[in-house]
Amino acid sequence: MKKFNKILVVSALSTSFLAMTAYATNPSTSYSVNVNANFITTISMSTTTAPSFGLLPAGLTGASSYAMSTTGAVTPTGTGAAVLSGTPVAGSVLIKGSATQAISISATAGTAGGGVNVTDAQCAYGGGASSDCFTTPILGAAPGVAGTALLVAPTISVPAAQAVGAVTPTLNIVVSYQ
């Protein structure tokens, strides 16, 4: 029995020593991960032409609205609503940026001006077809460093009894890379 116990103890010590040796000599492993960064031209915008509705009647008894197309045509809605004089013009914004990265364009209402609000907008990018950019962003090709024109045609909502005078509600144009 003594001999068996000695063999068992030697066997247990050998196994422990081998386990410690295996653990102590296990090499560490290292792995490199690439970190990607892509630098592109910052998007910039400038107004070439601000949208203009011409002269509209003040003091109407009911609310009215004026929807502009990217060609500058205005459709008035409401009793007495009309373009009295002047030539309505759609706005034009020059978008500059990357020559290779496509963009997404949308419009949101900015601040009211004298009670008048922007409630919708049509946009045409780079000579393309006009579409509603107020509810659905439009996708466009890379604007390039020289820039690409965006035609902007807002719809404005005018309250009843609008006062005489010029107002300047705003429309926010949001452009981001896709």
The answer to whether the predicted template modeling score (pTM) of the entire model surpasses 0.85 is no
Exposure pattern of 56-65 as b/e (b: 16+ CB <10 Å)?
bbeebeebbb
Q: What is the DSSP letter of 34?
A: -
Question: 66 near 77, Cβ under 8 Å?
Answer: yes
Question: For the chain (length 178 residues), average pLDDT per consecutive 10?
Answer: 49 49 71 92 96 96 97 97 96 97 96 95 97 96 97 97 96 96
pLDDT computed for residue 26 by the predictor: 73
pLDDT computed for residue 40 by the predictor: 87
Per domain, the residue ranges of the chain are 44-177
Q: Hey, what's the torsion of the CAs at 49, 51, 52, 56, to 10 degrees?
A: -170
